[in-house]
Amino acid sequence: MTIQEAQESVDKWIKTYGVRYFNELTNMALLTEEVGELARIVARKYGEQSFKEGEKEDISEEMADVLWVLICLANQTGVDLTEAFRQSIEKKTKRDKDRHKNNIKLK
């Protein structure tokens, strides 16, 4: 599935099952919540915390939830994520093409 197809799929789902998009502020709060849930799993799986009994451990589910809400925000604000991501890669390439290779902390 391409990014464009994902945006179209989310839009179709929202219009079929979700009635309408939540407003942008609500979706921003939901995105923050989902990133927090992802952070909790990362802290427990790769960090020094341990999972509590019965706590979810599925990192892929949380990443997908983050992506879902991000796509909702993109759709409702008219952002073409394919183009935005292409521009982001181009910007990072120009800005950082030698930065990380020359970072002694990464060697």
Q: Where are the domains positioned within the chain? A: 3-80
Closest of 40, 22, 38, 37 to residue 77, by C-alpha:
22
Cα separation, 13 vs 7, in Å, equals: 10
pLDDT band at 56 (very low <50, low <70, confident <90, very high): confident
| pLDDT for the residue numbered 50 | 94
| pLDDT for the residue numbered 33 | 98
CATH 1.10.287.1080 fits 3-80, yes or no: yes
Q: Which residues contact 81 (CB under 8 A, 6 or more apart)?
A: 3, 4, 6, 7, 70, 71, 74
Q: Is residue 7 within 8 Å of residue 74, measured between CB atoms? A: yes
> pLDDT for 67-99, tens place per residue?
999 999 999 999 999 999 999 999 999 999 889
